[in-house]
Structure formats: C-alpha cells, structure tokens
C-alpha cells in the first residue's frame, strides 16, 4: 500500500472564502422639499435619493416622531420584488398621524417604481436587500 505524498511543496493552501456581502444596503429617508427627481439611476446612493424625492409626508402639524423601516428588494427592471416588510415601526406622539404616515410611505413606492435603473445597476442589485428608514423629522 502506498502512502500519500508528504511533499509539502505540492500541498495547496486552504482557500479562504470570499468576504460576505453586507446584510443589506441601508439609507434614511427624511422629508425634503428640495429633493430633485432622479431621471436615471446608475449608483446605489441614487436609489435612496429617488425614493426621497417621491416621498410626500402627510400634511399636518409637523414633527410626529414616527419612523418606519422597510426591507425590500428590487427586480433588475426597477420593480419591487415581492412584498416589502416592515422591520421597525415607532408610532410617534400623534395618533391621528399614524395611518397617513404609513400610507405616505407606501405611496412613495407606488409613485416611484419601477425605478429607472441602468441595465448594469439592475443586474448588480437584483434581489439584494435594501432597508429604507423613513423618519418624520420635520420641524414644528
């Protein structure tokens, strides 16, 4: 019976796995009246800018202290993939503003999607998880 070669020069170093991709891409969306519409999206940061430009917080008495964080993915053509998930919700101080706030967040995606991704960005981010944190931080 032959024994395995013990020539250490022939052994390969164990391969290290590549570093993991981040859990997801995160961005905070705050009310901005001067947010410009994004015509073509070819960078990840522009995705958050595009949603911010589409978000119209409910009219009312100003700062409600509400926050919603949504997790979702996009298809390569800019449509939302599947059903967005609310992963965090802070109700804020004004009960009468809660439903209008949630509706305004939902309408931002209805108004903006499909997002105008370039072909290369669409291929790169399709199925990746995004977290959008909507914060009602308007001054009173």
Phi, psi of 82 (to 5 degrees): 75, -155
Residue pLDDT tens, the chain, 140 long: 444 544 445 555 556 665 554 567 889 888 877 778 889 999 999 999 999 999 988 876 567 788 999 999 999 999 999 999 999 998 877 778 788 888 999 999 999 999 999 999 999 999 999 999 999 876 54
| Cis bond before residue 130 (omega within 30° of 0) | no
Residue 140 is predicted with a pLDDT of 46
Report how many helices (DSSP H) and strands (DSSP E) the chain contains, helices first: 3, 4
The total of other beta-carbon atoms located within 10 Å of residue 18's CB is 6
What is the architecture, at CATH level 2, of domain 23-135?
2-Layer Sandwich (3.30)
Strands of the sheet containing 67-74, edge to edge, are 25-29, 130-135, 67-74, 80-90
pLDDT of residue 66: 87
pLDDT of residue 113: 94
Q: Please state the pTM of the whole predicted model.
A: 0.76
Residues 6+ apart with CB under 8 A from 101: 57, 58, 64, 66, 68, 92, 134, 136
Which pair of structure tokens corresponds to residue 120? Answer: 């290369």
Residue ranges covered by each domain of the chain: 23-135
Considering only CA atoms, which of 34, 35, 109 is closest in space to residue 68? 109
Three-state SS across 53-82? HHCCCCCCCCCCCCEEEEEEEECCCCCEEE
């Amino acid at each position: 019976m032959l024994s395995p070669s013990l020539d250490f020069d022939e052994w390969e170093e164990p391969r290290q796995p590549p570093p993991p991709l981040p859990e997801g891409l995160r961005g905070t969306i705050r009310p901005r009246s001067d947010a410009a519409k994004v015509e073509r999206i070819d960078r990840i940061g522009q995705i958050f800018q595009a949603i911010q430009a589409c978000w119209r917080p409910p009219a009312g008495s100003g700062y409600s202290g509400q926050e919603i964080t949504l997790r979702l993915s996009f298809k390569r053509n800019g449509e939302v993939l599947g059903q967005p998930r609310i992963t965090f919700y802070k109700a804020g101080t004004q009960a009468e503003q809660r439903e209008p706030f949630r509706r305004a967040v939902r309408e931002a995606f209805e108004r903006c999607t499909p997002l105008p991704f370039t072909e290369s960005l669409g291929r790169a981010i399709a199925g990746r998880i995004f977290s959008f944190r909507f914060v009602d931080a308007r001054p009173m």
